[in-house]
Amino acid sequence: MKRLFLFFILLLLCPWMLRAQGDSLIRIGTPRTDLILRLSPEGKLCQAYLGPRLANEADLKQLPAGKEVYYAYGSKDYFEPAVRVTHADGHPGMQLDYVSHEVRPQSDPNVTLTVVTLRDKVYPVEVKLFYETFARENVLKMWTEISHREKKPIVLHEGASALLHLSSRAYYLSAFTGQWGGEAMMNEQKLLPGKKVLDTRLGARAAMYCSPLFMLGVGAPASENTGEVLLGTLNWTGNFRFLFEMDSRHDLRLIAGINPYASEYHLPSGEVFRTPEFVCTMSDRGTGQASRDLHDWARNYQLKDGHGDRLTLLNNWESTGFDFNADTLKTYIRKSADLGVDMFLLDDGWFANKYPRKNDKQGLGDWEPTHAKLPHGVQELVAEAGRAGVKFGIWIEPEMVSMRSELYEKHPDWVIRFPDREPYFYRNQLVLDLCNPAVQDYVFGVVDRLLSENPSLAYFKWDCNSPITNPMSPYLKDKQSHLYIDYVRGLYNVLERIKQKYPDVPMMLCSGGGGRCDYGALQYFTEFWASDNTGPVERIFIQWGFSQFFPAKSVGAHVTSWGKQSLKFRTDVAMTGKLGFDIDVNKLTDAEIAFCRQAVGNFKRLAPVTLEGDLYRLVSPYEGQHAALMYVDKAVDKAVLFTYDLYPRRGAEWIFPVRLAGLDPAKMYRVEEINLEPGVDVVAWKENGGVFSGDYLMKVGLNVLTERCENSRVIEITAQ
């Protein structure tokens, strides 16, 4: 009783204390962006401003009152709330008042964490808002913690990671939508009064149709080098929702978080519900700057082994499919060495005995090598790789199960499905119930066993080909609405255990191509597979889309036999991401092997530029005729320019000099075409070998484009 009394006294005092300190404003931001919160006379915390940093401290007090930072259902508000609960006694409403805020010291001076506490006046429900800023990278990360002290569980219907308010004349939203083979297609639309939602309900392989990414042009359509733009993403490998609600006065409310669809959460007293992090950056110099900031942030703080090397590789999926044996693979291993790549990656089809994995209809779940194909197991292949001087990596899809598998026969209760209906399938498989700790142990065990049996196994490609189908968890019993959330939490438990025990093993995130592409997963993965579509022209678009958010070193890009374009064109496209090959090496001529080997050498030599440097997108493929992009190293001494002539129309008006970017105007640079195929006719380029000032290159540009369809160039640019 005494504690309750104190609680209420504190509650009444806190808003007053904030004002008494002359501190009714909370300034959260970076040297380039301001998010200003302000306490209203009624004790509500409101967002007074979000935008480019305000130059004069004195101006802050002139800011309008703003709107509540985290509207609860039941407050005086007529739009979508950030949080909605039903209290233990059935009461549906909540009103959140400001209680306190603190700036928590961090060991890294670049990072500031501000924590704001809000509380309901009547019920003991508390919401903490976390704002973490990364000063150098101009990135803001937001999440919330929701908890309560009611006698029984409350139902959390929705609890956003963040709510932001924007006020401008117009907004232009770019989504990254697609499907298998056509991921991250960028499409922009002007927002109109009403709601626009980007979301997914697929559970696993969550981003198959819509990636958890958006760009919002504020005031004008987002453009590469000018204008205000907000880039946002959610660190969550499951159902997400970005909701944009514009009122008739053109004020915009942006709510980001877990998709509340079919996901009411029963939250026991004392348990903290932590939402995933919403990550955003705001640029007033277009999307190019925003992407570079996100890339830096990812390498510095989020991506697994963000500054580490990446392994170039040869994969066998595209050329062998399921049809291989130990001898086939040994040839591939030796050819990996000929290509000069670091590793051979064995794909699907190596496992299961009762129901051998000879096609995609069976075997998932039984992770022992198929005796008939690999009589001496994986060990023999790892040893062969050792002899050839390359590393060995392996494909797994440990979250999934085939009905024709020993795992399914032994543990039908480990599988997400309705007990009373015929299951429906995606790629003939079902999803394991990762809500169940026993299943988590099993999935961890797949990796753990492979690594204990083969300690020099160097890499995993972790696939996830099915969304959650037949959505019912045998483990969750009467808490089925926890499925989509607990699945992802279960997945993270497993990935965290792997990271703890094997911190240095690189892993590729794959999901039937790019069906998972989020920074939540990427804290456990060194890269993700952008798409099974490796046709180089489509790939230019797919990689262009992902480049808005992800640095090159995190985007897996392989040279394959998709498309009829030259080997050079395919290689020049793959070299703008993390280079690999997935090609029938037995069909390559000696000259082609020599070309690939040279390209791998160039890629490795230039890795400090492409993988660690700054990306400048110069000519968008969406313009239709050409594409061009370049990377510049942090010292601005070295750059690499990639240009692609897609389907240029005839006539000089379609050819223009490509102006470079990001160089030092005062430095002199030598430009030189590399990655040439010996003996192959190329369009002559007169400027090759010339020395130009950075100023010239950025104002006049290089005449590198051609009228030839599907032609490409790689230009190395070196300060003299």
Give contact residues for ligand GLA (rule: CB under 6 A): 317, 347-348, 360, 395, 463, 465, 510, 512-513, 529, 532
Nearest distance, CB of residue 159 and ligand GLA, angstroms:
33
Q: What is the spatial distance between Cα 53 and Cα 433, in angstroms, rounded to a whole number?
A: 46
Residue 382, φ and ψ in degrees, nearest 5: -60, -40
Whether the Cβ atoms of residue 427 and residue 465 lie closer than 8 Å to each other:
yes
Looking at the Cβ atoms of 228 and 463, the one nearer to ligand GLA is 463
Residue closer to ligand GLA by CB (options 340, 363) is 363
In whole angstroms, give the CA distance from residue 26 to residue 116.
Answer: 9
Nearest CB to ligand GLA, comparing residues 469 and 712: 469
**For ligand GLA, the closer CB: 450 or 629:** 450
Q: At closest approach, how far in Å is the CB of 161 from ligand GLA?
A: 29
What is the smallest separation between the CB atom of 315 and ligand GLA, expressed in angstroms? 8
Compute the distance between CA of residue 523 and CA of residue 305 in angstroms, rounded to an integer. 8
User: In the bound complex, what is the minimum distance in angstroms from residue 603's beta carbon to ligand GLA?
Assistant: 20
Nearer to ligand GLA, 463 or 645 (CB): 463
Q: 228 vs 532, which CB is nearer to ligand GLA?
A: 532
456 Cβ contact partners less than 8 Å away, ≥ 6 residues apart: 382, 386, 391, 392
Q: Which is nearer to ligand GLA, 529 or 631 (CB)?
A: 529
Cβ of residue 442: shortest distance to ligand GLA, in angstroms? 20
Two structure tokens written together for 543: 């990689």
> DSSP per residue over 573-595, as a string?
HHTTSEEEE-S-GGG--HHHHHH
If you search the block for the tokens 């090598």, which residue do you land on?
Answer: 369
Smaller CB distance to ligand GLA: residue 191 or 346?
A: 346
Give the chain's largest Cα–Cα span: 88
Scan for tokens 């169940």, then name that residue: 436
Select 488 or 509, whichever has its Cβ closest to ligand GLA: 509
Q: What is the 3-state secondary structure (H, E, C) of 646-691?
A: CCCCCCHHHCCCECCCCCCCCCEEEEEEECCCCCCCCCCCCCCCCE
Q: In terms of CB distance, is 276 or 514 closer to ligand GLA?
A: 514
- 57 contacts 36 by C-beta, under 8 angstroms: no
Ranges assigned E (strand) in 419-525: 429-431, 457-462, 507-509
Tokens of 136: 């150098």
Q: How far apart are CA 34 and CA 56, in angstroms?
A: 12
Is the CB of 172 or the CB of 351 nearer to ligand GLA? 351
**Residue 504: CB partners within 8 Å, gap ≥ 6?**
305
CB of 532 to ligand GLA, least distance (A): 5
Question: Closest approach of Cβ 432 to ligand GLA, in Å?
Answer: 17
How far apart are alpha carbons 220 and 229 in whole angstroms?
9
Residue with smallest beta-carbon separation from ligand GLA: 348
Cα gap 74→91, rounded to integer Å: 10
Query: Which helix (H) or strand (E) segment is 484 a member of?
Result: helix 483-501
Tokens representing residue 177 in the block: 């939508």
Q: Report the alpha-carbon distance of residue 638 to residue 635 in Å, rounded.
A: 8
Q: Which two tokens stand for residue 574?
A: 């793959």
Query: CB of residue 390 vs ligand GLA: minimum separation in angstroms?
Result: 19
Q: Min. distance of Cβ 521 from ligand GLA in angstroms?
A: 15
Nearer to ligand GLA, 241 or 558 (CB): 558
Minimum CB–partner distance for residue 347 and ligand GLA (Å): 5
Sign of the dihedral through C-alpha 343, 348, 350, 351: positive
Give which of 78, 428, 442 is closest to 247, Cα–Cα: 78
For the CB of residue 280, give the shortest distance to ligand GLA in the complex, in Å.
Answer: 29
We find the least distance from the C-beta atom of residue 370 to ligand GLA, in angstroms, to be 15
Q: Angle CA(30)–CA(31)–CA(32) in degrees, nearest 5?
A: 85
Q: Could you give the count of Cα atoms lying within 13 Å of 120 in the half-sphere of its Cβ?
A: 25
Is the CB of 345 or the CB of 632 nearer to ligand GLA? 345
- In the bound state with ligand GLA, the residue whose beta carbon lies nearer, of 346 and 627, is 346
CB of 33 to ligand GLA, least distance (A): 37
Residue whose C-alpha is closest to residue 276's, from 234, 232, 214: 234
Question: In the 8-state DSSP scheme, what is residue 159?
Answer: E
Quote the CA–CA distance of 253 and 165 in Å, as a whole number: 5
CA distance 496 to 205: 19
Q: Which is nearer to ligand GLA, 132 or 532 (CB)?
A: 532
To 10 degrees, the CA torsion angle through 255, 184, 662, 609?
120
Neighbour-count burial of 268, counting CB atoms closer than 10 A to its CB (0-12 exposed, 13-18 middle, 19+ buried) = exposed
Q: Tell the smallest beta-carbon distance from residue 555 to ligand GLA (Å).
A: 14
Closer Cβ to ligand GLA, 34 or 463, answer by number: 463
Least distance CB 511 / ligand GLA (angstroms): 7
User: Of 360 and 672, which has the nearer Cβ to ligand GLA?
Assistant: 360
Q: How many CB atoms lie within 10 A of CB 407?
A: 22
Name the token pair of 106.
């961090």
Give bridge partners of residue 430 from the DSSP assignment: 401
Smaller CB separation from ligand GLA, 68 or 348: 348
Task: Please count the other Cβ atoms lying within 10 Å of the Cβ belonging to residue 389.
Answer: 11
Strand partners, 415: 432
